[in-house]
Structure 1
Amino acid sequence: MVSYREVLSTPGVARLIASQLTARFPAGMIALAYLLHVERVHDSYGAAGLVLAATSVGQAIAGPLTSRWMGRWGIRPVVALTMVVSLASYLVIALMVLPVTAYMLVGFIGGLSTPPIQSAVRTIYPKMVNSRQLTPLFSLDASAQEIIWVIGPVVTTFIAVQVSTVVAILVAGVFLVGGTIWFLTSPVVGRVRIPRARRAIGKVLARRPVLLATIVGFLLIASAAGVEAGVVAVYGHGGPQAGIILAIWSIGSVFGGLAFGHLPIGPWALARRMLLVFVGVALAALILDFWWLAVMLLISGFGMAPALAVMFAIVSSSVKFSDTAEAYGWVGTGQLIGAAIGSAFAGFMIDAQGPQGAFIVGAAFALLGVLFPVIFVRWHPDLRGRDAGPIPDTEPVPVQPS
């Protein structure tokens, strides 16, 4: 815990973590809010699913694209502009009754304009702390973001059921605007400027650690999506059990991130953490009992945030500073695609075999998430005793006064 105290005592770090979590809090709210709202308007979960799919496609495209724009126009202009467009999409869906196709178009535009705060903040981190502190900082960040996925859906469900779905979307908009402004007014955001990328978009995927993190991130989140669908299918919507189990899973991830965050990252680090995820999910598939699921997913959760932290670190250490934002954008896109595919596969398996089928899907994706970094272990950099910061660009990186 000493390493985390040192990181948080670094000027600006605590504010940056808190502000970016607040700005990204709608990520844990908006999908569920859209689902409940569009279903209420059109009386169809199928229609709501189409709107969510369109939104996810927009988010997947936006990942590397808007992240790359930050190197051309700066962090503040890009994040501010995308925030305004994203907020407009929230307001249109919340306040206007439209055909499903129109909702899909608005959702797509909103997804495309998702502020690239995650890419921005992980690009800024190496400029705030020394190389020894960077790995614990990535672990702290990966653990803290579980707050989004634990509290976000609970807040959304409560507001949507007790007040209205419109208010649930508007509250997400308040977090978006408030958190983004807080983030943008952080002095370090004004001081750090990302150099303009000189290579064509997508070239950064030629860096093997970036490709490794993108693929394993896809498999990890696909596994998580399958498990989440399975837990919901077991308990339905009639009680709190599903929410409690998913919260325990996320709590395991938080504690795992804090427990493993200080450990050196060797070439087998990602495979070992993914093995923990796989073992927990595979054992959970055997018995669909509340306490069994809770304990097994707690074990699985211990590997999730640490695996994400390793991905962030190997990406940071393997690309030039000018490419880091785009690289993290691709990693995020892989995770979004994983969420969509994992949910879809789990849905088909639930229809065919019941809830246990979704856990089988989750275990299968997690197993692939173990095998891939084992087979391609040479793609995984050994960061033991090495700087996890990005490779310096050949030209000076300008620093602007905030």
Structure 2
Amino acid sequence: MRAYRELLRLPGAWWLICGALPGRIAFSMCSLSIFFRVDHVTDSLSAAGIAVGAFGLTSSLTAGWRGRLVDRYGQTRPLMIFVPAYAISMVVLGIFSHDAYTSTVLAALAGLACPPFNMSIRPLWQQLAGPERSRAAYALDSALMNAAQLAGPALATFIALQISTTTALLVNGLCMGLGGSILLSSPLSRKWVPEPRRSGEPGLFKSPAIRFLALEGAAMGVAMGMISIAIPASTKLAGQQWITGWLFSASALGAVLAGMAVGARVKNYPPVRGLVVTQSIFAGLCLLLPFTHPGWPLLLLMFASGLTNGPAHVFYMETIDAVRPRGTAVSAMAALWTIEGSVGAGASGLTGTIIQMSSPSFALMICAVFCLVSPVMMYVGSRGVLRAAAAPPGRTITELAPEAPTSEAITQAVTP
């Protein structure tokens, strides 16, 4: 854990931690808060799924644009606009959503207001820690993200079921306002300068590696979008709705523990190889989801899935950094989130209908099939367009190749 102690002593580290946590709690609450609110006012799983999908679709479709704003203008101006807009949109959604149509429209508008929060924090950690501490920094940031995902779903479920669905959305907006205000006051964020682009550097989607990652992200988007609706639906139909938030929190707890362990102890493992291993295990666990009872067995399975997700997030950040074009520190991640989130939002919207026509187990079977795509693609990519990520952080693949023998060495070797 020495690597983390060194990180926490760096000036500005606690600004990032204190700003990241409440803002990410807001993000981790939003899907369940919207789901419970719309289900409450419409008594329809299909309408709730469509509203969650509308939020995710508009949020993800505009993520790339918000990322480009940050890469062009810095962090302060975009955050000053989007943070209060998001907080207000949650208040409006909580007060004025009374039917399926209004709820869907307001959820879509709230998605448009999502601030470029996570994508702004990542380059700040990279700048603060430097390449020699990048894996530990990404692991710590991943742990913070998963800690928020640990608290957010449980908080959203408790508030929505024990107090009111409106209050859950109001708390969501309050958390984003608090986190955004702290991040905006951070000297690191205010002084952050966008990375300059090299002359002749190809555009983001002209990069074969980014296109490849976008395709992989689309498959994972389907899987994650379906899980976000199928799990709450299965607990409701089984009469175990109280455990919904705890299921997602168990996954987040596993991700925190495993992600921190990887950041502290795994220093020289190539990121793309790490993705192949972690995503293969995750796919195997997802194959069990349709056959697992939505109670304590599912809680343990979600915890086990989190043990793969934490390291996978760290390896994924490093893979993007290794293959992205220069000058796209924020927009590369934003563009990939646009693809994954848009497809995931569409999958969320369809999942409610699939469940009404069949069952949550059938939806989870479809999800498991899409989970198998990721490790296969990462393995293929590691031998091609993602080869730059086949070296440990801070090193290039050419540094790992054996040095070619000189003509003098060859002569000496063959001379008796």
Report the TM-score range of the alignment, normalised by the length of the smaller protein. Answer: 0.7 to 0.9
Counterpart residue type for residue 378 of structure 2: P
1:64 pairs with 2:64: yes
Shift of 1:181: 0.5
2:311: which partner in 1?
306
CA contact (8 A) 2:7 2:129 kept: yes
Counterpart residue type for residue 75 of structure 1: Q
2:327: which partner in 1?
322
Identity %, equivalent residues: 20
1:255 pairs with 2:257: yes
Aligned mates of 2:301, 2:336 — CA distance in 1: 27
| Superposed CA offset, 1:20-53 (max 9, x none) | 2312321122232233334444555544444333
What runs of 5+ residues in structure 1 fail to find an aligned partner?
A: 390-402
CA contact (8 A) 1:277 1:304 kept: yes
1:264 pairs with 2:264: no
Q: How many residues align?
A: 388
Counterpart residue type for residue 264 of structure 1: N
Counterpart residue type for residue 194 of structure 2: I
1:150: which partner in 2?
150
- The 1:382/1:168 distance shift into structure 2, 3 A limit, reads closer
Q: CA RMSD in A?
A: 3.0
Counterpart of 1:387 (choices 378, 387, 394) is: 394
1:194 pairs with 2:199: no
Shift of 1:376: 2.2
Give the 3-state SS of the residue equivalent to 1:194 in structure 2: coil
Aligned mates of 2:50, 2:99 — CA distance in 1: 12
CA contact (8 A) 1:212 1:373 kept: no
1:223: which partner in 2?
223
1:130: which partner in 2?
130
1:361 pairs with 2:361: no
Aligned mates of 1:199, 1:154 — CA distance in 2: 48
1:335: which partner in 2?
340
1:205: which partner in 2?
205
1:277 pairs with 2:259: no
Aligned mates of 2:292, 2:32 — CA distance in 1: 28
CA contact (8 A) 2:53 2:347 kept: no
Aligned mates of 1:292, 1:91 — CA distance in 2: 36
Give the 3-state SS of the residue equivalent to 1:382 in structure 2: helix
CA contact (8 A) 1:347 1:358 kept: no
Counterpart residue type for residue 188 of structure 1: L
What runs of 5+ residues in structure 2 fail to find an aligned partner?
A: 397-416
1:95: which partner in 2?
95
Aligned mates of 2:395, 2:318 — CA distance in 1: 6
Aligned mates of 2:29, 2:210 — CA distance in 1: 28
- The 1:360/1:211 distance shift into structure 2, 3 A limit, reads same
Shift of 1:165: 2.3
- The 1:44/1:350 distance shift into structure 2, 3 A limit, reads closer
| Superposed CA offset, 1:355-376 (max 9, x none) | 4323322321211111111222
Give the 3-state SS of the residue equivalent to 1:322 in structure 2: coil
Give the alignment's TM-score, normalised by structure 2: 0.82
